[in-house]
Amino acid sequence: MIKQVLQPMENLFKAGIMDKIFLDGAESSPVAKNKGANWKVPIIIAYLITASIAATLFYMYINLQTQLSQSAAELNEIKEKVSSIDFEKIQKNQKGLQEDNMLAKLQHEIEGGVVTNDFVVQKIKLYFLDGKMSGTIDLSAQPELTVKYNGQGKFDIQDRELKGMIEDILKEVSKVYADLPLGRFPSWDKTEFKITVKNYEVATYTNSSLKLKGE
């Protein structure tokens, strides 16, 4: 816009028309006739001031255009970087971290904290994948039951009695598990666990059903 306004004036200066207008006007004025050659001084000063203002405005215009071009280029670069960000992947990773933190906290509460008269949960490992919860629950026998432990996951008691003891400890585990937000994690009756004693498998728990090894 500024360039369009100044262009006609610039063309007049280039063509010498403005010089002629200034000079002709000055020569015909009464002041010039009275003061002789002194009339040229204010004309030259006015000419220089006008040229200086025009040059300054033109420089400001060019500088503004350059800044606008740079800003537009930077904005396009930012848009390209933003468009390349996979926000869905970031949200998925964030969700995964939140779930891992919840499971880690749950495991910490259960290990050594869930007990019955027969067993203590020595260690629990949870795996949440594709909407399914699975894992391993390692049990340690209480002193009264330890004397009946023969090693390698075998006890000197009836299977029915052992099964009842394991079911009791699993009920206590399920109470802590209930602290997890359902909907995000499956309910307890839809989980799958391998039950071990000193890392020896003794039973499996699948969809609310407990089955001793060898059954």
- Please report the DSSP string for 37-103 in residue order: GGGHHHHHHHHHHHHHHHHHHHHHHHHHHHHHHHHHHHHHHHHHHHHT--HHHHHHHHHHHHHHHHH
Return the closest-CA partner of residue 186 out of 202, 164, 206: 206
Q: Please report the pLDDT score of residue 6 as a whole number.
A: 44
Q: Please list the residues that pair with 203 across neighbouring strands.
A: 195, 212
**Range of lowest pLDDT (26-35, 56-65, 85-94, 139-148):** 26-35
Lowest-pLDDT choice from 53-67, 130-144, 181-195: 53-67
Q: Residues 164-171: what's their mean pLDDT?
A: 97
Kindly report the number of other CB atoms within 10 A of residue 176's CB atom. 17
pLDDT tens-digit map of 1-48: 444 444 544 554 454 544 454 445 444 545 444 554 565 667 777 777
Rounded to an integer, the average pLDDT of 99-104 is 88
pLDDT at 87: 55
pTM of the model: 0.59
Instruction: Give the pLDDT of residue 195.
Output: 97
Length of the chain: 215
With tokens 């869930």, the residue in question is: 114
pLDDT of amino acid 194: 97
Most confident stretch, 65-69, 72-76, 211-215: 211-215
- Band of residue 72 on the pLDDT scale cut at 50, 70, 90: confident
pLDDT at 38: 60
Q: Write the pLDDT tens digit of every residue in 105-136.
A: 999 999 999 999 999 999 999 999 888 999 99
User: In this predicted structure, what is the pLDDT of residue 12?
Assistant: 44
